[in-house]
Structure 1
Amino acid sequence: MDEAMIRLTVWFRRLVVMTSKEFLQLARDWMLLVFIVYAFTADIYLAGSGVSLQLRQAVLHVLDQDGSAASRELIGRFQPPHFQFAGRITEGPREALRLLDRGQTMVVLDIPADFESDLLSGIPTRIQMQIDTSNSVQGFLASSYAQRIIADFGTERAMAELHAQSGGAGSMPRIVDDHRVWFNPNQNDTWFMSITELLTIITLFAVLLPAAAMVREKERGTVEQLLVSPLSSFQIMFPKVLSMTVVILIGCAVSLALVLRGMFHVPVRGSLALFFGITTLFVFTTAGLGLLISTIARNLAQVGMMTILVFTPMLFLSGAWTPPEAMPVWMRTIMYASPLHYFIDTGFGILLKGAGIDVLWREIAAMAALGGIIFGTGMLRFRNQFGN
């Protein structure tokens, strides 16, 4: 029994010493430290404040061939923040096409002559919208907002005419749209973008840092010294994962406190302890990809390229940018094999929805199962290459 305790004590001593060594090596790599600090602070701030999924200040030019009160009323409905009125077109349709071709406008509203007189006479009238959809998302939003504005204008004119014909008696039947927006009632893009960027940065470093720590040993020639020491391959590898996990958790805590809650006022409705526990599980398991990379790459440049090769498909298949329902069936099937997909579901579930283990246990179980396979594969490959 005493011998077993001595062995256990020696094992933990080696673990502590090797983990301390990883922290010291990281502290000496000031470029990597700067990158980590930037990623968990400035990068998340820029993503939250500078990226919007809404239509903002779309440049609008108007070709008003009627010049009536009705046309002016319709033009006046295209207001900020969605549209920015940039001026009237005076030289006809050719000028409108020229502005669109040069990228000087996004939307051209073309109101025909006799627009008001046709409305007063009850004659159906048409207006033309020309929209630059080089950016398909913004173009779709501009088209949707414009259609809603024009539809509301037409409905109000028709209702006013019917009201006048009935002498003001009675009321017209209507449907009241009484909807509720949950979890993000103001539909604030900042909340979504900052949380998404934080989870993305965690994933990036979970792959990059353990791989970089191991390959750094290769470049400096110290890996041979470790292999001839009385350390097992697990004692060489595990402190790298452990130390980098601690660094990522510290960066995550700083980002939550200073950026998400401090600057963007993102409400954290769930348990922070649960969030950090799931983040620890995710980082540990995803680090298996870093171990795989470290057994293939020969220098840090190759680590960077291979990290991009692994990370990019994980990001696009996570469901953060494209809803799973919008993906082809075969791509959706592959998405379920990405641990990042489950991490994003649990992250948003905890931070914005206040969900607990009773709601998220399926995602946690799937992430743990996938992570166990990934980490086990990385560990097996590492032992085969360096193994003892």
Structure 2
Amino acid sequence: MRHTANILRLGIKELRSLWRDPMMLVLIAYAFSLGIYVAASAMPETLHKAPIAIVDEDQSPLSNRITGAFYPPHFTKPALIPLGEVDPAMDAGRYTFALDLPPDFQRDVLAGRQPTVQLNIDATRMSQAFTGGGYIQQIVQGEVSEFMRGTRATAPPPVDLALRARFNPTLAQSWFGSVMEIINNVTMLSIVLTGAALIREREHGTIEHLLVMPVTPFEIMASKVWAMGLVVLVACAFALLFVIEGILKVPIEGSIPLFLLGAGLHLFATTSMGIFMGTIARSMPQFGLLLMLVLLPLQMLSGGTTPRESMPEIVQTVMLAAPTTHFVKMAQSILYRGAGLDVVWPQFLAIIAIGAVFFLIALSRFRKTIGTMA
């Protein structure tokens, strides 16, 4: 009971210290509110209002038909420019696409001579350039085919493909972006808060006060783990209920309490990582540099940004030792697909095992650090 009381009181001390740190409070508030909203809405899910210019050197009914096929929301209203303005306009970044319809275009099409249409693409705008080229090719080919047939009616395809998009029927990018942002922020904030709490005590000299008190390194570390983990867990629940479901209207298919249980287990592992990193770094700038080396691989290689199946085999194997790999799989299964405990229990066990190993390693390092200070 004495150990439990010490852990409880030390954890309350950590919460009070965090309350007196306005920058950390701003970071938590931003990460679980505006940060999630920006991640969900900043990047359009499809080609959206891409600027396009058309050089119509033919001035025929077919060229006019092609020009009229580009309209919002995929493209802006096409700007009709002369051929000599294409390079200066592309150099200035005014247009992502510049389509050049050559002279005698309609006559060559009717004669079956297969004229060449030039499409200039500003490839530095990757999100639009990648999909926009395919859109424009389909539009031009479709308009030419309809012009040659003399009707917009299309022949039925020999095979009918029934497409069913599961778990995200509208293919909305906000559904994916918002949920993945909260998953990434749980990992980031838990490491930052625990590591910063330890470094803050070292910089303020309060760690020496703890050394003369009848408390053990286990109690000191456990108090930081539960206090900072609780803050992140409460912020995560708030973001799910009020930001994702409330403001963004993203439906959560699975059980939020089950997800929070898994997030709590994940926080046990990541807060231990934060303690370990806090014992290595001697100042907040060093901790920030170390955080970039650790956090980016955790987030980029865990399967949240890119499917793990598309990664090299060695990366897939190494990342099995990271708690984020199992947390991302568990969170996506629950929040996207409505999975229950009967589906995600392997991820729960993996996170518990990895968390226990990380906690023991961090505790050993923390004891050595405390010993050198003493």
Normalised by the length of structure 1, the TM-score is 0.89
Q: Which one of 2, 10, 13 corresponds to residue 10 of structure 1?
A: 2
Give the aligned length: 372
2:48 maps to amino acid? R
Return the offset for 1:162: 12
Task: Quote the Cα distance in structure 2 between the aligned partners of 1:24 and 1:46.
Answer: 30
| Paired position in structure 2 for 1:184 | 168
Residues 26-85 of structure 1, C-alpha deviations (whole Å, 9 max, x = no match) = 111122112211211111112212123432111100011111111122222222222113
| Paired position in structure 1 for 2:342 | 358
Q: Which one of 363, 369, 386 corresponds to residue 353 of structure 2?
A: 369
2:110 maps to amino acid? L
Return the offset for 1:242: 0.1
Task: Quote the Cα distance in structure 1 between the aligned partners of 2:157 and 2:19.
Answer: 70
SS of 1:249 mapped into structure 2:
helix
Q: Quick one: percent identity of the two aligned structures?
A: 36
**Structure 1 residue 344 and structure 2 residue 334: aligned?**
no
| Paired position in structure 2 for 1:121 | 111
| Paired position in structure 2 for 1:50 | 42
Task: Quote the Cα distance in structure 2 between the aligned partners of 1:377 and 1:119.
Answer: 72
| Paired position in structure 2 for 1:299 | 283
Task: Quote the Cα distance in structure 1 between the aligned partners of 2:14 and 2:187.
Answer: 20
| Paired position in structure 2 for 1:201 | 185
Residues 244-286 of structure 1, C-alpha deviations (whole Å, 9 max, x = no match) = 1110011111111221011110101101111000000111111
Residues 339-387 of structure 1, C-alpha deviations (whole Å, 9 max, x = no match) = 2232222222211211122222333333333333222221221123225
Task: Quote the Cα distance in structure 2 between the aligned partners of 1:35 and 1:126.
Answer: 54
Normalised by the length of structure 2, the TM-score is 0.92
| Paired position in structure 2 for 1:147 | 137
- The runs of at least 4 aligned residues of structure 1 exceeding 6 Å deviation read none
Return the offset for 1:157: 4.2
| Paired position in structure 2 for 1:317 | 301
Residues 151-184 of structure 1, C-alpha deviations (whole Å, 9 max, x = no match) = 3334444555899xxxx9xx66533332111111
Task: Quote the Cα distance in structure 1 between the aligned partners of 2:80 and 2:186.
Answer: 49
**Structure 1 residue 100 and structure 2 residue 74: aligned?**
no
Q: Kindly indicate whether the alpha-carbon contact (under 8 Å) linking 2:265 and 2:348 is maintained by their aligned counterparts in 1.
A: no
Residues 6-40 of structure 1, C-alpha deviations (whole Å, 9 max, x = no match) = xxx22222122111111111111122112211211
2:24 maps to amino acid? L
**Structure 1 residue 215 and structure 2 residue 199: aligned?**
yes
RMSD of Structure 2 on Structure 1 (CA): 2.3
Q: Which one of 78, 81, 100 corresponds to residue 110 of structure 1?
A: 100
Where structure 2 has 5 or more consecutive residues not aligned to the other structure, the ranges are none
SS of 2:158 mapped into structure 1:
coil
Q: Kindly indicate whether the alpha-carbon contact (under 8 Å) linking 2:40 and 2:174 is maintained by their aligned counterparts in 1.
A: yes
Q: Kindly indicate whether the alpha-carbon contact (under 8 Å) linking 2:276 and 2:365 is maintained by their aligned counterparts in 1.
A: yes
SS of 2:321 mapped into structure 1:
coil
Correspondence 1:270-289 to 2 at 5 A = 270-289=254-273
Task: Quote the Cα distance in structure 1 between the aligned partners of 2:309 and 2:115.
Answer: 38
